[in-house]
Amino acid sequence: MVIEHLELSVSAFADEIGVQRSSMSHLLNGRNKPSLDFVMKLVDTYPEIKLDWLLKGKGNFPETDNIEEEPVAKKTNLEIENFKIEPTKRESVIAQKQSKEPYKIVMFYSDGTFDTFNTKKD
């Protein structure tokens, strides 16, 4: 399931996680069971693979956002006027990427000194 999701060949997958291709063949054919070393290499290489899912089958792979919206309680007009809608996490990340511009560069030197350069003029 993981190899298919990552769209890799078995050989490429083995190379990515740092195991021998023959070991992958033995695992996939049921000759051997995965060792702790194999499991740790897998989750170290691909942190999106959760140990609970891998070892116990709990959760989903690939992991999905399971955010359930809570019902909005009735509010008076005064409460609604003071209610601030925060951007979602995804909207915040997108906005940060779109408005990402360097404003200061700091260069540290081996003698312990540094220089600061402002890229924007005030």
Residue 26: give the domain boundaries.
Answer: 2-56
Residue-level pLDDT at 56: 86
Domain presence at residue 33: yes
Per-residue pLDDT of the chain (122 residues; tens, 9 = 90+): 888 888 999 999 999 999 999 999 999 999 999 999 999 999 999 888 888 888 888 888 877 655 444 444 554 544 555 555 565 666 666 666 566 676 777 788 888 888 887 777 65
Q: How many C-alpha atoms does 44 have within 13 Å on its Cβ side?
A: 10
Residue-level pLDDT at 14: 92
CB 99 within 8 A of CB 86: no
Distance CA 106, CA 82 (A): 40
With tokens 């060792």, the residue in question is: 35
Count structural domains, the chain: 1
Token digits of residue 81: 């006027």
Here the CATH number for the domain that contains residue 20 is 1.10.260.40
Distance CA 97, CA 108 (A): 26
Torsion, Cα of 16, 20, 22, 23 (10° steps): -90
Full-model pTM: 0.49
